[in-house]
Amino acid sequence: MRRKQKHSIPTKYTLLFLTAFCVLVMFVSFTLNLSGGPLNTVAGYVFVPMQKGINSIGEWIVSKADDVKSLRDVMRQNKELQAEVDSLTQELSTMKLEQYELDRLRELMGLDRKYSDYEKIGARVIGSDGGNWFNTFLIDKGTDDGIEKDMNVIAGGGLVGIVIDTGPNYAKVRSIIDDSSNVSGMVLSTADRCIVKGNLATMKERQVIGFSDLQCEEGSVDVGDQIVTSHISDKYLEGILIGYVSEIARDPNNLTYSGTITLSVDFQHLQEVLVILDQKTVQEDPDTP
């Protein structure tokens, strides 16, 4: 047997009825001025809590709206501040770069004045043979600018190397740290000569290269003494600073000394160099045919 379906009044009709009832009660109360009567009492129980609830909801909505507005203001201010920070950071980076370039140019100008007897031309390093050290590298000046093979190259505090190849608008330089480099040097304070040999391995390990065959009196050469290019070199001009003695020891033959040199040039961060356009002229022996 089928169960009889229970009929229920839809919720919307119930709500409509209650609303109409409340409106009617309010109308009667105001019309008949039933203050203090039972209708007023009923209204106090019904409408006062409703009004409080409505007020609370309104205050909550207003509070949330204020919070949303404040959040939007904070986000807008944050974007503005971030844009200002980005702009200031960019300006600071530009200033640091300009200061770095200015320091490099001042360094080159100081080196230019130090070797003022020589004619020079500035050049920018445009490539290297790889690795972190500039043992051989290219510059952006060549034969069109008067650069020739065997010209000396300086930067930073002193000697960088020598030009080994040229083109119309480029030149290749072999630096004194390269394994194939040999420079005739001398101790500036005593004029005692030695051989300065490039060594890329010791540069990577301790940032030094070696010297050997130094003939000097015992104790006359010490750590910190300057090593410069010798007057007997056939390619390097005399008196260009190579570096400073960092270690020295007597050789097993008890006749010569060997050691290491801390170089005056930073061979990891070369960017600009000066090429000396004057070349070493070696006088021939008049007795030689």
Residue 174, burial from CB neighbour count under 10 angstroms (0-12, 13-18, 19+): buried
**Which of 184, 178, 185 has its CA nearest to residue 201?**
178
**Whether pTM exceeds 0.85:** no
**Which of 260, 276, 248 has its CA nearest to residue 160?**
276
pLDDT at 284: 47
pLDDT at 128: 87
pLDDT at 288: 35
pLDDT at 224: 94
CB 161 within 8 A of CB 153: yes
pLDDT at 113: 80
Residue 14's identity, in one-letter code, is: T
Q: How many residues are given for the chain?
A: 289
Joined together, the tokens standing for residue 254 give: 């008890």
Give the separation between CA 36 and CA 31, rounded to whole angstroms. Answer: 14
Give the separation between CA 58 and CA 62, rounded to whole angstroms. Answer: 6
What element of type H or E holds 171? strand 170-175
pLDDT at 225: 96
CB atoms closer than 10 angstroms to residue 18: 11
pLDDT at 117: 85
pLDDT at 174: 96
pLDDT tens digits along 59-107? 677 676 777 777 777 788 877 777 777 776 666 555 555 555 555 656 6
pLDDT tens digits along 148-182? 999 999 998 899 999 999 999 999 999 999 999 99
Which residue stretches of the chain have pLDDT < 70? 1-16, 18, 21-23, 25-55, 58-59, 62, 64, 88-108, 282-289
Q: Would the CA dihedral through 127, 130, 133, 137 be positive or negative? A: negative
CA angle 114, 118, 123 (to 5 degrees): 85
CB 209 within 8 A of CB 199: yes
Backbone phi and psi for residue 219, each to the nearest 5 degrees, phi listed first: 85, -5
pLDDT at 129: 80
* DSSP symbols for 183-203: EEEEETTT--EEEEE--HHHH
pLDDT at 136: 95
3-state secondary structure of 226: strand
Give the separation between CA 232 and CA 237, rounded to whole angstroms. Answer: 9
CA angle 267, 269, 274 (to 5 degrees): 75
Give the separation between CA 17 and CA 23, rounded to whole angstroms. Answer: 10
pLDDT at 22: 67
30-51 burial string, b = 16+ CB within 10 Å, else e?
eeeeeeeeebeeebeeeeeeee
